[in-house]
Chains A and B, each alone.
Chain A
């Protein structure tokens, strides 16, 4: 794809060149939708609703298929359905201030929307954690009550700034106790027993997938970056929905191959050899209903080369450890995900990422639907600016509710930010 001239302005319009194998993501999606549907209709197969931060490998160990209400909410947004579903949930009495993922799901279930538009089948059990937010378990508790489905919540202690290792070990003990209670819960409500061998194999495969993803991110450090968030925001799908599944591993292998080739040639993601001028870090959940935002940045020669959100789904999994050690490791991962890092660790993590990925500017999405991730953003902004002299832009918006997005305002803010980065570059 070459630079094209905008019909309105006559100025060259820079686009993003997607990777040759990008479209192969469809196989993972087809797999997810088909197998998910199959497990939902076959009486001897079982499904569970699950949320971000929950170790899916545990469910694979029971041959239970995970369904993800959050991700189906993003499907609804991408299909331009989220607003009507959110408004339906609000008509049921849910406040405008509540999470838009949650309300999308409430609307989708109440209106019995089909899966391709963001609907989701009724599960056999519901599983969740409180690691990331209150919303996860409040939302799932409401749906468990309405759908009359048993629920298990992992009560994950918070590793706040300054927590010592001894305390964390105590927290892990509580988590491990809950694993055994969870296994009993699953057995009681589905009749299924944990197959430890299958679970450990799932964990190994999952780590294989995570390694590929982490390797892809190593290449994103190249200048220009061969892969941007315009693509990763979609291609991380297997990591979330199908961790360890072969269809996803194959996809990531191909993506890695594409990325390597591009990096070896010194090519970036912008079309027609356009130069990558600004390398950005984007924090937070993307605007799923307006994924063009990522592409729009290209016309300023700006590329999002790192986003903690998509990377956070690939933490190192316990491999080569015995069963009980693995459970302790999983417990630690559950409490200490990049998306729920305490503020001290978050600042350290971001500052390292800014250096590793040669970042020129940071965009922080202050998400009206996600108060936990927005907490500490002001400190984060101030730290990055003062410690690294890198400009930071906070944009207030919403991940799934298009009513929070204004094209004109976003354009103005982004353009000012580009000017700021340019000034900063010139020093």
Chain B
């Protein structure tokens, strides 16, 4: 099976359409271990380092993919598309303009955009995408999401490391869905055999920019924090809700992508705060780690009010600004250690 890669800044790309068209949807994560120098020929160093890493990966690996889709998300997706178009060699580069709003007008527009995407894939690859294919892709996607929900629920009861959690999410977004589901099953079985939640670890909710490499998760683990809830796109946002399996699949997809928990890149900060408050209350948590990747503007804008609302409710919140690096960040570790002592 061939692969179509996609670049989105949240959970914005309807990967079920890619799967229904007969391709493996592959979310571009970049590689924190590789220098961004190739992308930095075209993108300024004060742009999001993750987005620069995505372009670096695309410059090196686009030949392995049948095409690349870019979904509207933030300034990076919206403006870098044109730069990718000039420099990343791919036979099919496509812009998916999902709406930023979630009202009835946005829903109608989202359906139009989904049809436009299907039409573009069909014409370019000379294929036909039927409702049955879309429904089958939705069912497969839901199977992955259901398993992730099960695993997520185990995070506060069992010994699921932060790295294990992130790595399985990355697999869920890069492997064929059946393979990903099998991988999650294997991890669930492994976790079931492991001991209960470690007594020396503190339960925490993680919010802010998406984490795309496990080394950061290791650092959080090493500081004595275990992430049991989050609102990340490489996290709960990806699986918190399921896609409706009955009725028209386009309606179901449009509705799903407009109603998933809000990232900072979508209008509706109140919705984001509500999700966080509910997650904290449902899980009986008292502690939040908020982190912002350097130059990730949407989450940096949100962080003051979002963290303020959490603090007002009596939760302890640590806000960190982090670099895009796999190496141990002593500044970050010190702040995490101090926070750990405090809680």
Q: A residues touching B (Cβ–Cβ < 8 Å)?
A: 92-95, 97-99, 102, 130, 133-135, 137-139, 141-142, 145-146, 153, 155, 157-158, 160-163, 167, 170-171, 173-174, 177-178, 181, 342-344, 366, 368, 371-372, 374-379
Let me know if B200 is at the binding interface, CB within 8 A.
Answer: no
The reply to whether B297 and A155 form a contact with Cβ atoms under 8 Å apart is no
The reply to whether A145 and B85 form a contact with Cβ atoms under 8 Å apart is no
Could you tell me which residues of chain B, from 4 to 56, have a CB within 8 Å of some CB in chain A? 41-44, 46-47
The reply to whether B116 and A142 form a contact with Cβ atoms under 8 Å apart is no
Q: Which A residues touch B41, using CB under 8 A?
A: 378
Question: Which B residue's beta carbon lies closest to that of A177?
Answer: B105
Let me know if B106 is at the binding interface, CB within 8 A.
Answer: yes
The reply to whether A160 and B301 form a contact with Cβ atoms under 8 Å apart is no
Question: Which A residue's beta carbon lies closest to that of B301?
Answer: A138
The reply to whether A379 and B86 form a contact with Cβ atoms under 8 Å apart is yes
Let me know if B82 is at the binding interface, CB within 8 A.
Answer: yes
Name which of B73-81, B188-196, B216-224, B234-242 contacts chain A. Answer: B73-81
The reply to whether A97 and B295 form a contact with Cβ atoms under 8 Å apart is yes
Question: Which B residue's beta carbon lies closest to that of A370?
Answer: B75
The reply to whether A141 and B269 form a contact with Cβ atoms under 8 Å apart is yes
Let me know if B97 is at the binding interface, CB within 8 A.
Answer: yes
The reply to whether B298 and A138 form a contact with Cβ atoms under 8 Å apart is yes
> How many angstroms from the CA of A378 to the CA of B86 in the assembled complex?
12
Chain A contact residues: over half helix, strand or loop, or mixed?
helix
20 other contacts beyond A146-B305, A375-B80, with CB at 8 A cut-off? Answer: A94-B300, A98-B297, A137-B267, A141-B267, A142-B304, A145-B270, A157-B72, A160-B78, A161-B81, A162-B85, A162-B95, A174-B108, A177-B109, A342-B82, A343-B82, A343-B85, A343-B86, A344-B82, A371-B47, A375-B44
Q: Given A97-B46, A98-B300, A155-B99, is A145 in contact with B83 using a C-beta cutoff of 8 Å?
A: no
The reply to whether A139 and B319 form a contact with Cβ atoms under 8 Å apart is no
Query: How close is A123's CB to chain B, nearest CB, in angstroms?
Result: 18
The reply to whether A95 and B82 form a contact with Cβ atoms under 8 Å apart is no
> How many angstroms from the CA of A291 to the CA of B151 in the assembled complex?
58
The reply to whether B101 and A158 form a contact with Cβ atoms under 8 Å apart is no
The reply to whether B297 and A142 form a contact with Cβ atoms under 8 Å apart is no
The reply to whether B108 and A177 form a contact with Cβ atoms under 8 Å apart is yes
Q: Which B residues touch A102, using CB under 8 A?
A: 301
Could you tell me which residues of chain B, from 223 to 255, have a CB within 8 Å of some CB in chain A? none
The reply to whether A174 and B109 form a contact with Cβ atoms under 8 Å apart is yes
The reply to whether B297 and A97 form a contact with Cβ atoms under 8 Å apart is yes
Let me know if B172 is at the binding interface, CB within 8 A.
Answer: no
Q: Which B residues touch A378, using CB under 8 A?
A: 41-44
Q: Which B residues touch A371, using CB under 8 A?
A: 44, 46-47, 75-76, 79, 295, 297
Interchain residue pairs with CB less than 8 A apart (17): A98-B297, A135-B297, A139-B301, A145-B269, A145-B305, A153-B100, A158-B81, A163-B95, A170-B116, A177-B105, A344-B82, A366-B44, A375-B82, A376-B79, A377-B44, A378-B43, A378-B44
The reply to whether A181 and B103 form a contact with Cβ atoms under 8 Å apart is yes
Question: Which A residue's beta carbon lies closest to that of B79?
Answer: A375
Query: How close is A162's CB to chain B, nearest CB, in angstroms?
Result: 7
The reply to whether A161 and B85 form a contact with Cβ atoms under 8 Å apart is yes
Query: How close is A224's CB to chain B, nearest CB, in angstroms?
Result: 34
The reply to whether A153 and B319 form a contact with Cβ atoms under 8 Å apart is no
Let me know if B143 is at the binding interface, CB within 8 A.
Answer: no
Let me know if B140 is at the binding interface, CB within 8 A.
Answer: no
Query: How close is A355's CB to chain B, nearest CB, in angstroms?
Result: 22
> How many angstroms from the CA of A141 to the CA of B78 in the assembled complex?
20
Q: Which B residues touch A94, using CB under 8 A?
A: 300-301, 304
The reply to whether A375 and B46 form a contact with Cβ atoms under 8 Å apart is no
The reply to whether B46 and A155 form a contact with Cβ atoms under 8 Å apart is no
> How many angstroms from the CA of A375 to the CA of B297 in the assembled complex?
15
The reply to whether A372 and B97 form a contact with Cβ atoms under 8 Å apart is no
Q: Which A residues touch B294, using CB under 8 A?
A: 97
Interface residue from A155, A170, A366 paired with B267 (Cβ < 8 Å): A155
The reply to whether B78 and A372 form a contact with Cβ atoms under 8 Å apart is yes
Query: How close is A359's CB to chain B, nearest CB, in angstroms?
Result: 23
Question: Which B residue's beta carbon lies closest to that of A89?
Answer: B304
Q: Which A residues touch B103, using CB under 8 A?
A: 181
Let me know if B303 is at the binding interface, CB within 8 A.
Answer: yes
